[in-house]
Amino acid sequence: MLYSKLENGDYKTENSRSDDKIAKGIRFFYNNLPSFKKYSDEDDLTYIIKNHRLLVIEILEYYASKPKQPSLRTIEGRLVDILRIFRIAYETKNYELYIKYSTAMVDLYNDNQLEEDEQELNEREEKAYVPFQVILGKQKQLQEDFDKLTDKTTSGAYKLNQDLLLVSLYSLIPINRDEIKTLKFTTTRKDDDDYIYFKKDGDVILLLNVEKKKHGEYELNITEESATLSKILKESYKLYKRENVFTAYNNKDTTISIQGLSKRLHNIFSFTGKNVGTNSIRSSYLTYLNEDKQLTVKEKDKLAEKMRTSRRYIDTAYIKLLPKANQLKDKEVVVVKEEKPSTNRYAKQLEANKRYYEKNKQEIKERVMKNYIAKDKTELARKKILYYLNNSDDYIDRVKKTTLEKYDIKVVDGRYV
């Protein structure tokens, strides 16, 4: 089990495609935690398993020493990094150590719902979130720059067009996830991949044929949804005829990976100082739509279908309540200024929680351990799976059919029980 293989994606499977992010988490461990800095040049990741208790302690101590308390999702992310190493090493999730860590995450969320109820940006989200007006402003700037070119056959013109396509597909229609980054062009209807389909009648269609377990095939008429995007796509295909919508800047016949396009998106918005990505744009988009006029249940259902998500996830994860200083009204704003963190009820609650924990931490640890020992581990595992199935938009993609059968999990009225 090697870091180099993790970073290169050698352990990836159909149900686990985020090892590049896990690798960043491992770097966090040896860059910030005192007992793990000595492993900065260590390729073998066995040390994480051997020292998992010390690792968790130093993670908690690291965040406890920070003036600004971490969000629950930040802590969860660190535990997810550890869990992934367990999963690779033991090639199963069905063993005691894995279940203990998974249960700890569920208990953390079950006991601390304030953050989700407030719908405020957590620490991780703040690093990636920009108001959607910034996304729209950048799209407009790229389009104006490309339209001004007198010679659109140069390599510089192609690079600009690639950036314009990427930002436009992530701003001018209801925003999907990484399937946008793997789109191909076609002039005939196909069902073996995800496509931009140019119909004979002139309409441009988004065909998402690669099914997700909860979200099947999907078709969107881009021409009806956004005439601007339809025109951009037609022009790009006419000027630079190719199979893949996105390619290397310097060669339209060379494919580019999802990770490469994620970096490209980040670079396009580097002027904001934020690590802008697909999820943050989806959140920004839905928050933007909900700002002036609260979206109705019917409108959210329609958006959920177009974005291949759920209304529940739109409400619990995507739509954010922003400080008024961040609620921009000018649709042409491009540059966003950093705002100081606002003092709010959540921050005060976190501070109170920290004081209470410091005063009573031994009693809390003993009570938690006593409660954990008394719990049915099988039922805990089942509750963990149910929690993530009903609260995470893509967790179902990582769960095997045999696991659902083992824990007798079914869908009733659109909810896992």
Domain match, 175 and 104 both:
no
Question: Is there a domain that residue 189 lies in?
Answer: yes
Are 139 and 74 within one domain?
A: no
Residue 303 or 64, more confident: 303
What is the rounded CA–CA span in Å between residue 217 and residue 194? 9
300 and 168: one domain?
yes
Distances (CA, A) of 18 to 113, 303, 392: 26, 26, 15
In a domain, residue 58? The reply is: yes
pLDDT for residue 333: 45
Asked if residue 306 and residue 164 are part of one domain, the reply reads: yes
Let me know whether 165 and 262 are in one domain.
yes
The answer to whether residues 156 and 110 belong to one domain is no
For residue 42, give the amino acid letter: E
Domain for residue 126, yes or no? no
108 assigned to some structural domain: yes
Which carries the bigger pLDDT value, residue 233 or residue 92? 233
Domain that holds residue 273: 132-318
Specify if 337 maps to a domain. no
Whole-number pLDDT of residue 70: 66
Last residue of a domain, one of 318, 342, 372: 318
Report pLDDT for 134. 93
Across 29-38, 222-231, 311-320, 382-391, the highest mean pLDDT is recorded for 222-231
Q: How far is CA 173 from the centre of its chain?
A: 18
105 and 18 in a single domain? The answer is yes
Q: For residue 4, what pLDDT is reported?
A: 87
Each residue of 250-288: pLDDT tens digit? 999 999 999 899 999 999 999 999 999 999 999 999 989
- Is residue 135 within 8 A of residue 166, CB to CB? The reply is no
Q: For the segment 10-39, what is each residue's pLDDT rounded down to a tens digit?
A: 887 766 667 888 888 889 998 999 998 999
Identify the CA nearest to 199 among candidates 189, 211, 208: 189
**Does residue 268 share a domain with residue 356?**
no
pLDDT for 351 equals 59
The proportion of the chain whose per-residue pLDDT surpasses 70, expressed as a percent, equals 76
Q: Give residue for tokens 């044929």.
A: 209
Residue 38 counted as domain residue: yes
Of 109, 126, 415, 131, the residue nearest 281 (C-alpha): 131
On whether both 102 and 155 belong to a single domain, the answer is: no
* Tens digit of each residue's pLDDT (9 = 90 or more) over 296-313: 888 988 998 888 888 877
Question: Does residue 222 form part of some domain?
Answer: yes
What is the tens place of the pLDDT at every residue in 130-141? 999 999 999 999
Asked if residue 46 belongs to a domain, the reply is yes
Same domain, 142 and 199: yes
Tell me: do 26 and 151 sit in the same domain.
Answer: no
Phi, psi of 254 (to 5 degrees): -105, 125
Domain containing residue 253: CATH number: 1.10.443
Q: CA–CA separation, 270 vs 92, rounded Å?
A: 39
Position 410 scores a pLDDT of: 82
Q: Are residues 167 and 241 in the same domain?
A: yes
Number of domains forming the structure of the chain: 2
Q: 52-56, 118-122, 188-192, 294-298 — which is least confidently predicted? A: 118-122
